[in-house]
């Protein structure tokens, strides 16, 4: 068992979204706009992009299509320079423009979108050969138009993504899975060494998504899970846990994972059943009940010793992917002095299941995020005679009806629902997940600020009983940068406002007493049960060290750091040489896994994209295309 790191892992502070370029247009699109001109306008502009057709605040986000990397470019000068630089090396062809549509994502914002497909390939040398032997890329994009002050249409936003490599299968099409033999089972002999192209550790949403994509591309992989069943990452939590994003956002890759009559907010049991069904339907090659005992770099890959059924097996792989549930699997309770003096029960969120044994007694939950609210609600439902929530800092609260509205709809137009039972998830993802993070965040901010201003009573009621609400933090910031510390209100706020759940806020816990907790203001709160729901360990490197060791873990990029160009570090590019750390919510796992699988495919074919062109020791790699 690997202990704490010998020295703290290096950290760097994240930029705030306010420090990143990017702004929204106003409501600039006339209601009677003639959309028929835009497909040809898009063809004209993009086939030979010029600086003067870009708006001053133009923004371009590329998902491995033209640059071969995940990049965001800001401002007309940078967008033009980078696009022009691509054209010096690569040919863009086979343009096919689709119909135009007006996007109205808020009452005060509008633009015109045109989606398109195209191809990218390296320019040929004198004898017609492709330089460097790059794979030909089939790509998708969306170009967004706004008018300038003089009434001329300008390109404001560009979004481009790699679909697949010409001549190879598509990561959104699972048919290749069924054209290959059923994946191998565990070897009959522990002496047999097995080799794979990819080994994925962890069969949660990220591991399953990546396994599905690898299968679709015909890549030989193995998924390892320490639990005895798929979905245990959900059913192993407290009984009342559920997803706090809408059902249609939480499908795994390919077809829908859940039925139309499943709850909008899926409970853990339904999530786990969906994962099990997915693994069976798409022939996921998973070994259950496996412990990784040793993992070392070996030649051009990795060698693992794993424990299965009391035997050690040796596995080799070219690529290793860690799907460890980073940020939501290892509880991180604070140290409070005097624990030994308290005569009753103390649990952390990882140990907690339900409150039924404490019916009629007094419960205290420390924390004010989603888990803490769920525990407090469970205490109330279980019939505890007193329930107190200890809030340590201001907490953003996002009413679930607002979140559902925001996650289901791209626009204020009721006919523009995106995540629904009609639109395939892969199509919905293109409309939502391709947005530059800064633009997505600003849209969320505009919509949430409008709702908060129109409904202040929801938060005033909480503050009247002592619950401190942070009305400034945007949900995007909470998810991407903070990784928690917020509450999507599915009903518990009402019980707080009405006094069913008492609040102790803004005062530090001094120590445990024999009967409960004493605070620095001198107040004591009696308890028969104290539950610490104070979040999880956020540094995924600490979990990775348990697999690859401290030396490699220390070299991995820090998660949840916003870079100067507006990207969050780490989730879709290799963390070290042939090492991937996969994380995120289900919608992120579904979308990001397609690009990880494509990068691995290119590397296995001997024609890697830039970030998989290893150059040097210790997992460093080239960063230019």
CATH number at residue 105: 3.10.450.50
Q: Would you state the structure tokens that stand for residue 114, as one six-digit string?
A: 């045109």
Q: Would you state the structure tokens that stand for residue 177, as one six-digit string?
A: 């899975």
- Are 206 and 145 part of one and the same domain? no
Distance in angstroms (rounded) separating the CA atoms of residues 403 and 616? 45
The number of helices, as runs of H, and strands, as runs of E, in the chain is 16, 23
Q: Would you state the structure tokens that stand for residue 266, as one six-digit string?
A: 């899926």
- Are 388 and 485 part of one and the same domain? yes
Closest CA to 132 of 574, 594, 623, 605: 605
Sheet holding 524-526, edge to edge: 509-512, 516-519, 524-526
- Are 409 and 488 part of one and the same domain? yes
Please check whether residue 5 lies inside any domain of the structure: no
- Are 388 and 288 part of one and the same domain? no
Q: Would you state the structure tokens that stand for residue 398, as one six-digit string?
A: 């996002």
CATH number reported for the structural domain that contains residue 415 in this entry? 3.50.50.60
pLDDT of 415: 43
Distance in angstroms (rounded) separating the CA atoms of residues 172 and 282? 13
Distance in angstroms (rounded) separating the CA atoms of residues 236 and 71? 37
**Sequence-separated (6 or more) residues with CB below 8 Å from residue 227:** 203, 233, 236, 288, 289
Of 165, 180, 206, the one marking the end of a domain is 165
Q: How many residues are listed for the chain in this entry?
A: 625
Distance in angstroms (rounded) separating the CA atoms of residues 150 and 103? 21
Q: Which residues pair with 391 in a beta bridge?
A: 505
Residue 376: strand, helix, or coil: helix
Q: Would you state the structure tokens that stand for residue 79, as one six-digit string?
A: 């967008």
Please check whether residue 559 lies inside any domain of the structure: yes
Q: Would you state the structure tokens that stand for residue 206, as one six-digit string?
A: 């990220």
- Are 290 and 382 part of one and the same domain? no
- Are 434 and 297 part of one and the same domain? no
Please check whether residue 470 lies inside any domain of the structure: yes
- Are 301 and 419 part of one and the same domain? no
Please check whether residue 314 lies inside any domain of the structure: yes
For the chain, residues with pLDDT lower than 70 are 1-3, 125-132, 183-192, 326-330, 406-417, 615-625
Distance in angstroms (rounded) separating the CA atoms of residues 297 and 552? 10
Mean confidence (pLDDT) of the chain: 89
- Are 33 and 153 part of one and the same domain? yes
- Are 265 and 377 part of one and the same domain? no
Show the domain range for 476: 339-532
Helices marked H in 300-436 — which ranges? 370-381, 400-408, 425-432
Site of tokens 């107190």: 388
Please check whether residue 170 lies inside any domain of the structure: no
Closest CA to 251 of 286, 275, 231: 275
Of 507, 532, 557, the one marking the end of a domain is 532
Buried/exposed code over 407-426 (b: 16+ C-beta within 10 A; e: otherwise): bbbbbeeeebbbbeeeeebb
Number of folded domains that form the chain: 3
Angle between helices 425-432 and 586-604 (to 10 degrees): 90
CA distances from 135 to 164, 219, 344, 461 (A): 10, 17, 64, 59
**H-helix or E-strand spanning residue 213:** helix 205-216
Of 532, 550, 573, the one marking the end of a domain is 532
Please check whether residue 270 lies inside any domain of the structure: yes
Please check whether residue 352 lies inside any domain of the structure: yes
Distance of CA 220 to the CA centre of its chain: 25
- Are 33 and 142 part of one and the same domain? yes
Distance in angstroms (rounded) separating the CA atoms of residues 572 and 158? 20
Residue-wise pLDDT tens digits, 83-129: 999 999 999 999 999 999 999 888 889 999 999 999 999 987 544 44
Kindly report the number of other CB atoms within 10 A of residue 235's CB atom.
Answer: 17
- Are 150 and 247 part of one and the same domain? no
- Are 260 and 217 part of one and the same domain? yes
Site of tokens 């590019």: 573
Please check whether residue 182 lies inside any domain of the structure: no
Q: pTM of the full predicted structure?
A: 0.93
């Amino acid at each position: 068992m690997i202990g704490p790191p010998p020295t703290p892992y290096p950290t760097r502070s994240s930029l705030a979204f306010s420090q990143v370029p990017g702004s929204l247009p106003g409501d600039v699109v006339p209601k009677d706009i003639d959309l028929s001109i835009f497909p040809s306008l898009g063809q004209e502009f993009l086939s030979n992009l010029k600086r003067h057709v870009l708006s001053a605040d133009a923004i371009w986000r590329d998902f491995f299509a033209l640059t071969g990397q995940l990049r965001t470019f800001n401002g007309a000068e940078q967008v033009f320079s980078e696009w022009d630089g691509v054209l010096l090396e690569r040919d863009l062809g086979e343009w096919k423009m689709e119909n135009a549509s007006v996007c109205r994502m808020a009452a005060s914002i509008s633009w015109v979108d045109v989606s398109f497909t195209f191809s990218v390939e390296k320019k040929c040398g004198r004898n017609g050969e492709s330089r460097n032997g790059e794979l030909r890329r089939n790509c998708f994009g969306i170009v967004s138009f706004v008018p300038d002050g003089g009434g001329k249409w300008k390109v404001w936003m560009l979004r481009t993504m790699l679909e697949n490599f010409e001549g190879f299968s598509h990561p959104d099409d699972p048919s290749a899975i069924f054209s290959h033999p059923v994946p191998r089972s565990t070897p009959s002999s522990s002496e047999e060494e097995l080799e794979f192209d990819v080994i994925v550790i962890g069969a949660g949403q990220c591991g399953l998504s990546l396994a599905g994509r690898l299968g679709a591309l015909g890549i030989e992989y193995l998924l390892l899970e320490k639990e005895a069943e798929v979905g245990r990452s959900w059913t192993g939590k407290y009984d009342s846990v559920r997803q706090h994003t809408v059902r249609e956002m939480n499908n795994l890759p390919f077809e829908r994972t859940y039925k139309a009559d499943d709850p909008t907010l899926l409970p853990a049991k339904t999530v786990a059943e969906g994962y099990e069904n997915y693994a069976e339907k798409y022939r996921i090659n998973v070994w259950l009940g496996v412990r990784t005992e040793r993992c070392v770099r070996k030649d051009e890959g990795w060698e693992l010793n794993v424990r299965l059924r009391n035997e050690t097996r040796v596995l080799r792989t070219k690529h290793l992917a860690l799907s460890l549930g980073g940020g939501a699997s290892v509880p991180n309770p604070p140290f409070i002095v005097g624990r030994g003096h308290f005569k009753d029960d103390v649990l952390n969120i990882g140990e907690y299941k339900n409150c039924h044994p404490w019916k009629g007694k007094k419960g205290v939950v420390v924390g004010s995020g989603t888990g803490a609210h769920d525990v407090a609600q469970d205490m109330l439902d279980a019939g505890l005679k007193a329930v107190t929530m200890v809030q340590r800092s201001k907490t953003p609260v996002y009413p679930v009806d607002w979140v559902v509205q925001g996650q289901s709809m791209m626009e204020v137009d009721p006919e523009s629902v995106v995540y629904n039972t009609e639109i395939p998830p892969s199509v919905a993802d293109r409309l939502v997940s391709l947005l530059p993070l800064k633009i997505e965040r600003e849209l969320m901010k505009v919509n949430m600020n409008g709702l908060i201003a129109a409904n202040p009573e929801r938060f005033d009621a909480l503050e009247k009983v002592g619950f401190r609400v942070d009305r400034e933090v945007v949900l995007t910031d909470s998810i991407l940068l903070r990784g928690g510390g917020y509450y999507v209100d599915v009903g518990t706020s009402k019980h707080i406002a009405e006094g069913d759940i008492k609040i102790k806020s803004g005062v530090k816990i001094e120590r445990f007493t024999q009967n409960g907790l004493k605070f620095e203001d001198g107040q004591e709160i009696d308890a028969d049960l104290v539950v610490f729901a104070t979040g999880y360990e956020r540094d995924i490197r600490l979990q990775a060290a348990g697999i690859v060791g401290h030396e490699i873990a220390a070299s991995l990029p820090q998660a949840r750091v916003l870079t100067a160009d507006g990207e969050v570090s780490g989730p879709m590019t290799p963390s070290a040489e042939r090492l991937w750390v996969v994380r995120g919510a289900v919608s992120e796992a579904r979308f990001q896994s397609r690009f990880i699988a494509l990068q691995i495919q290119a590397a296995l074919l001997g024609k890697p994209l830039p970030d998989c062109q290893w150059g040097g020791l210790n997992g460093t790699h080239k960063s230019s295309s």
